[in-house]
Amino acid sequence: MEAILPNPRVRRRRPTVELVRAVRDGRRVGEALGVLSAGEAEGEPEHDALAQQLARFLVRRCDERHQGWQVLRQVVLDAGGEVPWERCSRQAVGPTKDRVLRDCATPGRTPLVRVQHAAAQERARRIAVLLDPEPVLRRLKLEPPAPVDAERWERALVAAVAARSREQAVRALATGLGC
């Protein structure tokens, strides 16, 4: 009787616990995203832990890999904005996890770049709550026609995350605030 060998083209599915550890170490992120997208981990107790760890990774990764976030952060720093950056990043993890799970629940493959951008947007939402717009706008020489309310300020910062340069970020803030 012949032994049945496994198909070498079929990927071995790693246990979710192993993926959680790998993502914590910055490895197998694409695989973890694929597992969440395919719904393979649903029902497992580690499903939530995998999404949480992936969200932490994405929020941390914004600082070195998301150009729009880097530009926005530098614009805020140059404008003299004082923000508790670490606190904002910790607060962005929960909403990022929810967005990743929502995105992965839609049919099809979830690209890493899309959830990375979602993490950057969540970080921008968190700084919008803690950053007073008046001194930042004054330093950027932007004068909105009306007082800036929290909702408009948040939308403007989130829109600025898509910028690739300082000028684009300032233009996105100006457009978002009607300057």
Per residue in 131-173, pLDDT (tens digit) is 999 999 999 999 988 889 999 999 999 999 999 999 999 999 9
User: Does a structural domain hold residue 5?
Assistant: no
User: Does a structural domain hold residue 46?
Assistant: yes
pTM of the model: 0.88
Cβ atoms of 161 and 72 within 8 Å: the answer is yes
163: number of Cβ within 10 Å: 21
User: Does a structural domain hold residue 8?
Assistant: no
d(CA 64, CA 49): 24
Of 40 and 61, the structure prediction assigns the larger pLDDT to 61
User: Which tens digits make up the pLDDT trace of 73-96?
Assistant: 999 999 888 899 999 999 999 999
Instruction: Tell me how many domains the chain contains.
Output: 1
User: Does a structural domain hold residue 31?
Assistant: yes
Query: What is the dihedral sign for C-alpha 163, 165, 171, 174?
Result: positive
- Band of pLDDT at residue 40, cut at 50, 70 and 90: low
User: Does a structural domain hold residue 3?
Assistant: no
Mean pLDDT of the region 119-136: 94
User: Does a structural domain hold residue 172?
Assistant: yes
User: Which tens digits make up the pLDDT trace of 4-34?
Assistant: 776 666 666 778 889 999 999 999 999 999 9
Which pLDDT belongs to residue 96? 97
Of 55 and 11, the structure prediction assigns the larger pLDDT to 55
User: Does a structural domain hold residue 42?
Assistant: yes
How big is the CA angle at 149 (ends 80 and 96), to the nearest 5 degrees?
A: 75
Which pLDDT belongs to residue 146? 86
Residue % of the chain over a pLDDT of 90 = 73
What range does the domain containing 90 cover? Answer: 16-177
User: Does a structural domain hold residue 1?
Assistant: no
Looking at the predicted structure, is the pLDDT value of residue 3 above 80?
no
